Amino acid sequence: MRDFFLSLGAQQWVLPALVLWPLLAALPVRLLGRDPDGESRGIDARVLTLCALSIEALLGFVLWCVFDPDGAGWQARVDLPWIPDIGAVFSLGVDGIAMPLVVLTAFLVPLSLIATWNNVRVRMPAFGALVLLLTSGLVGIFVSLDLLLFYLAWELMLIPMYFLIGIWGTGASAKASLRYVLFTLVGSLLMLVAIMALWTLGGGTSFHIDHLIALKLDHRMQLLMFAAFFTAFAVKSALVPFHTWLPDAQRAAPTLAAVALGLKVGTYAILRFAIPLFPAAATDPTVRSIILVLSVVAIVYGALLAMSQDDAKRMVSYSSISHLGFIMLGCFALTQQGVQGAVMIMVNHGITTSALFLLIGMLQDRGGTTSMASFGGLARVMPMFAVVFTLSILSTIGLPGTNGFVGEFLVLIGTFGEHPVLAVIATSGVVFAAVYGLRALQRLLFEPNGSTTIAQMLDLSLRERAVMAVFAVAIIWLGFVPQAVLGRSERAVRNVVEGVRFGPNAAPPSSKLSMNP
């Protein structure tokens, strides 16, 4: 397969196609599509969107195939001229950290669209177009090597998301979408300033990460810029205490947008930019301690809050906040195990949380609410739903044998060597996770509440079963064969970890970092 795609020159076109195809497809979907129930001429916009997204998934598959697990440096790299005056280049490339996330995105969006097929009935052409724009932005974030391009993709993701939540959301969606934009924007403006400053310091010739990473920056400058980047990314990843927008946004968002919000663009950016560009800042004992402590707080805090939510979507959001703590902990543990664990959780989280949001969305479609109190005893009426939901919850609470275990285990074992106390506190998260996870099972699946509406609810349809089967397989597959991701991300993570320790901007050897195999 790999050879076939290589013979087609896939390495030259796959990344530009992944970024630009949805962008290009958005316009025809908007113009030619019609509402599912619409009277006007045209093609059902859902079908058009799905066609476009299927091609995106196919491209994702091509990328997975052509990626060389043992390859060094950026793969499938493409540099196209963009704004020569300021040295901005349309530069795309992936390594083992970005590639799994790109493939995940390329598959997740179409699968979510199929799962929520009947969810959106109004203004579908616009919805489809925005989803495509969003996909383009998401993929762009993961593959941009030029900081300006990255910034553009970062903002490109923001705008469609604002409209998706604001227009198709439920409840206080206008407020939630505005808060989302405000939180993200304040952070990203800081980042924009830092990008500009970095560009100036670099001689005003390039925004390319390879160029900027080689800059010699003094400690204070690194700290300032790291702060700006980190704030932007931490807000986007909903790190405690910047997390309050997430439950509101995911609660209000249409299911598909809630799934997209679960993609870990923020933590990816930290690993791709904030840490490698400013290693001395990232390893500064004070900075690192603050972030590590915040991560552990997030793990416990998110889990405790998830314990006391009635709304199922908010419960999942808070569990995400808890998982985010694990990712952040792994990233800043800066050991091979910790960072690879973090990458693993980014992928796992995309799978598991999406599965949960889609399942809860299916309940919302049937019962009109996401309040757990309104359900109960679903295991009797919707056994298929019960099986997949249980599996997803087990993955969320990190049961070994599911994908959820491997990432958390690696993060914790990678943190333990240097920060045993933090790792022990973080491990207590597994107990709280069991509490909120089983509480959700209890309230949704068991404990009948006697409502007649529930007795009438239909189990998953064939379409829903097909989609959820993909998620179920992924949860178990990555639980047993996590090497599929770990093996591919190893080299890239090694680059990051060693770059931080030995790169040009690394902290002087007096720093307390010890080498951990």
Q: How far is the CB of 204 from other proteins (least distance, A)?
A: 13
Ramachandran category for residue 401: left, alpha or beta (phi over 0 → left; psi -120 to 50 → alpha): left
Output the CA torsion 198→202→204→210 (10° steps): -90
Least CB distance to other proteins at residue 414 (A): 8
Work out how close the CB of 38 gets to other proteins at its nearest, in angstroms, rounded to a whole number: 30
Q: Which is nearer to other proteins, 49 or 340 (CB)?
A: 340
Q: Which two tokens stand for residue 226?
A: 């790291």
At 367, the amino acid letter reads G
Answer for the pair 72, 81: CB distance below 8 angstroms, yes or no: no
Q: Which is nearer to other proteins, 73 or 241 (CB)?
A: 241
Q: What's the min distance (Å) between Cβ of 446 and other proteins?
A: 4
Report the residue number, 167 or 387, with the smaller CB distance to other proteins: 387
What six digits make up the tokens of 161? 């998301």
Query: Minimum Å distance from CB 118 to other proteins?
Result: 21
Tokens 């006007």 — which residue?
40
- At its nearest, how many Å lie between other proteins and the CB of residue 125? 23
Cα Dmax for the chain: 71
Q: What is the residue whose two structure tokens read 């060693």?
A: 498
Residue (46 or 314) nearer to other proteins, CB: 314
**Comparison of 93 and 187: residue with beta carbon closer to other proteins:** 187
By beta-carbon proximity to other proteins, the closer residue of 219 and 491 is 491
135, 102 Cβ separation under 8 angstroms: no
Report d(CA 358, CA 389) in Å as an integer. Answer: 10
Closer residue to other proteins, CB minimum distance, 35 or 311 = 311
Residue 241: asked if its preceding bond is cis (omega within 30°), the reply is: yes
Q: What is the dihedral of CA 203, 209, 212, 216, to 10 degrees?
A: -170
One-letter identity of residue 458: L
Closest to other proteins by CB, 94 vs 426, is 426
Of 33 and 377, the one with the shorter C-beta distance to other proteins is: 377
**SS3 readout for 447-497:** CCCCCHHHHHCCCCCHHHHHHHHHHHHHHHHHHHCCHHHHHHHHHHHHHHH
Q: Rounded to the nearest whole angstrom, what is the least distance from the CB of residue 34 to other proteins in the complex?
A: 29
Cβ proximity of 497 and 335 under 8 Å = yes
CB of 480 to other proteins, least distance (A): 7
User: What is the Cα–Cα distance from 250 to 257, expressed in whole angstroms?
Assistant: 8
Residue 210 Cβ, how far from other proteins at the closest point, in Å?
21
